[in-house]
Amino acid sequence: MSPELFSHRLIFVTGKGGVGKTTVALALGLAAAAAGRRTIVADIQGSGEQQEAELAPGLFRLSVDPQSAMDEYLLVKVPGPAAQLLRQSRLFAAFAMATPGMRELLCMGKLWELAQFERRTPDADAYDLVVVDAPASGHGAAILRTPRTFADIAQVGPIAHQAQTIAATLRDPEFTAVVAVSTAEEMPVNETLELRDALATGPDPLELQAVILNARYPDRFTTAQASAIAAALARTPAPADGVRSALSVALTEHARARREAAQAQRLSAAFGPRLLTLPYLFEPAIELPQLRRLAAELSP
């Protein structure tokens, strides 16, 4: 991974559902922390850690949800009893949350706050880098646009001002980077190309800083070897079940590797040196040791 990526303050990791966004966000976080950057990986599902929790030395994790982002915003921005009243007002909460895009704006506001050297939240330490485990591509691109949209609609007032500030940092390519995760399959590759195009259009165009091809299958056999395996399978009598199934597995894996090669080629043609590949890990679960292996491949 080019060291330049880790010099950003905010890295958005997005991609099709299930391609490995969470895995890659954590691996990037580990790589950045290992390179000495105090890093937090934040997701916007609001289902994980509600407090900033340390996962590994220099690597923290947080789940951002709109409700607590709003509570915190009111606490910091609105003085005294008024905030208390607003926070307790279910009508106000219901109204705010029903405003289209408000949830996204609140989440973006919190992510932006995390990325400030001067944290708005009292007693909070600063991070060098915030890695966002963002929602799947379509929604991921939309959430990046929310502050700009709000700024354009509201124009004046505290929300517009806040949204303008956030939008300005998002369109600053030194501050914010967007990374797409894909697997070497047709639909995820299509979605990655669509994401690139969606980000490039509109008033604040963004570029994909890197594309990570995750979970690439090993390509173990040449075409000649695969033919030899197929021939051996045809010669092997049915009673030798173990041998037959081992040969079939090898052929299936070979077929998959070849299908993946064609899709990897599409990504490579589109992104050239910005494309990085992570291997498929044949492990029962991806936990810290496995994440460290992936992080080693992403290290600057």
Ligand X SMILES: Nc1ncnc2c1ncn2[C@@H]1O[C@H](COP(=O)(O)OP(=O)(O)OP(=O)(O)O)[C@@H](O)[C@H]1O
**Interface residue list for ligand X (CB under 6 A):** 17-23, 136, 214-215, 278, 280-281, 286
Q: Which does 202 bind (CB under 5 to 8 A by kind): ligand X, Mg ion, none?
A: none
Q: Would you count residue 46 as binding Mg ion (CB under 5 A)?
A: no
Name, in order, each residue with C-beta under 8 angstroms of 216's C-beta and a sequence gap of 6 or more. Answer: 183, 184, 260, 264, 277, 278, 279, 280
Question: Under rule CB under 5 A, how many of the chain's residues touch Mg ion?
Answer: 2
Which CB, 134 or 199, lies closer to Mg ion? Answer: 134
Q: How far is the CB of 195 from Mg ion (least distance, A)?
A: 16
Q: How far is the CB of 159 from ligand X (least distance, A)?
A: 29
Q: How far is the CB of 275 from ligand X (least distance, A)?
A: 15
Q: Write down the residue that tokens 């905030």 correspond to.
A: 83
Name, in order, each residue with C-beta under 8 angstroms of 260's C-beta and a sequence gap of 6 or more. Answer: 184, 185, 216, 217, 219
Are 23 and 228 within 8 A, CB to CB?
no
Binding track, positions 14-33, relative to Mg ion; x by CB under 5 A: -------xx-----------
Query: Which of 230, 204, 207, 212 is CA-nearest to residue 267?
Result: 212
Q: How many angstroms separate the Cα of 287 from the Cα of each of 271, 283, 295? A: 29, 9, 12
Q: Which does 7 bind (CB under 5 to 8 A by kind): Mg ion, ligand X, none?
A: none
Which CB, 171 or 292, lies closer to ligand X? Answer: 292
Query: Which of 227, 217, 209 is CA-nearest to residue 273?
Result: 209
Q: How far is the CB of 48 from Mg ion (least distance, A)?
A: 10
Q: Which does 214 bind (CB under 5 to 8 A by kind): ligand X, Mg ion, none?
A: ligand X
Whole-angstrom distance, CA of residue 195 vs CA of residue 197: 5
Which CB, 171 or 216, lies closer to ligand X? Answer: 216
Q: How many angstroms separate the Cα of 79 from the Cα of each of 76, 85, 185? A: 7, 11, 52
Q: How far is the CB of 21 from Mg ion (least distance, A)?
A: 5
